Amino acid sequence: MPKFLVHTLTAWLLCFLTVNSLLHAADTPLYVKVRLPESLKISALKPGDVVTGQLAQDVYHGESEVFPSGSVVRLTVDALAKRRRVPNDHWPWIVKLFTPRHETYPTFQKATVVRPDNAQVPLNVSLIFLNREVEVRAQQKKDDNGSGNVSSKTDNQGAPMLVLEGRLAQDATPDAAPASAGSVTLPTGTSAKVVLLGPLSAGKSHPGDTFQARVIEPIRQGDEIVVPEGTVLTGEVSKSKAPRMLSRAGSLYLKFTGLNLAGMQPAPLSASVAGAELDRNSHTYVDAEGGLKGAHPGKAWMAINLGMTFGLGKVADDTLQLLIEAAVSSATDASTAGAGRIAAACVGGVFLITRHGRDVVLPRYTQMDIVFDRSTNLGH
């Protein structure tokens, strides 16, 4: 093939990728996280109520900051909707039996963000999720042998957190700054804030499964923005273990493998998870290798399952004694007590052995902090 034809095709391909990326970026919704007052009762909300909160972090669009952290946000409840409650496989069936299968939650369509200069900006929004978050970070800590690590947790004051997709009016969308020219190298240890674009879990995800994440805060090198908000990262599940018997929790290891920057060829990337913001009921921690693992069963789990064990054992004991006495006319409670105790111990032991540990569940738009394990070259 002639060289001029190869260069022409390459130029057209780069042009197509650039235009497609810009169109995609322009259509990318804003990632808006709102911290609500602790005193707010979500269950008491009704259509028409106005909820006031504050932005938990800066909101970006491309290379521009749209709203700074701490800006006041007013949201109007549009309607109340019902959705199926996410089942918690950590608890026995008797607990699930008395847990409501559906939950009521507020929906929003309109919001107003008050900038520091008191300018009020309307925003079209849709709810992603509403929960109480815990920030989980991997932190190394030496043990008595001089090695080992633990995970640290920071509770966001227990306040409910509202995560929304937002869209500005067409004339309010900030202009994107021009992309930086030349070749840029992001050094080892560079950090980034991303959100998952699809759900993952230890129970359903398998090694080799791919996923995508989106950068929600521009990555800077000095005063220059080199990776804008909206940039898509690719990755794959490197290891996963589903929750197992004997109350062994699941684990999930993710690695980020690629960075797709507008106007560039996809750049290879090596990055791992350094922290995550999760529902406080998930009981998940991050180890030093960036793996997400379910925590050990707590006191409530032990109390409920020991109660279930005793109850099942008692039922098995009484049932076996009744069956023996009905089949053997000369049998008495004293003569069948031994068999009943053996049956009770077997049933209770099987129940405890088959209890599974906690799963690691990462819903769509789970926010993560990642760190580059090797330097990454972004050649323009």
**Domain tally, the chain:** 2
| Residue 304 domain boundaries | 299-353
Which residues have C-beta within 8 Å of that of residue 379, sequence separation ≥ 6?
Answer: 183, 264, 265, 267
Q: Domain holding 257: CATH number?
A: 2.40.128.260
β-pair partners for 11: none
Alpha-carbon gap, residue 338 to 333, rounded angstroms: 9
Best CA proximity match to 374, nearest among 291, 259, 287, 265? 259
Q: What pTM value is reported for the model?
A: 0.73
What is the Rg, in whole angstroms, of the alpha carbon atoms belonging to the chain? 27
Residue 208 shares a structural domain with residue 227: yes
Count CB neighbours of 96 within 10 A: 13
Residue 346 shares a structural domain with residue 231: no
Residue 190 shares a structural domain with residue 316: no
Residue 276 shares a structural domain with residue 149: yes
Whole-number pLDDT of residue 325: 61
Best CA proximity match to 38, nearest among 165, 164, 156, 163? 156
pLDDT tens profile 315-337? 666 676 666 666 666 655 555 66
Residue 4 falls inside a structural domain = no
pLDDT tens profile 72-123? 999 999 998 876 766 555 555 555 666 666 678 888 999 999 988 899 999 9
Residue 6 falls inside a structural domain = no
Residue 1 falls inside a structural domain = no
Whole-number pLDDT of residue 283: 81
Which of 19-28, 138-147, 326-335 bottoms out in mean pLDDT, i.e. has the lowest?
Answer: 19-28
Q: Which sign, positive or negative, has the C-alpha torsion 212, 137, 131, 35?
A: negative
Residue 152 falls inside a structural domain = yes
Residue 312 shares a structural domain with residue 216: no
Best CA proximity match to 280, nearest among 290, 295, 291? 295
Residue 192 shares a structural domain with residue 272: yes
Mean pLDDT of the chain: 76
Residue 349 shares a structural domain with residue 209: no
| Phi, psi dihedrals of residue 197, rounded to the nearest 5° | -100, 5
The three-state secondary structure class of 221 is strand
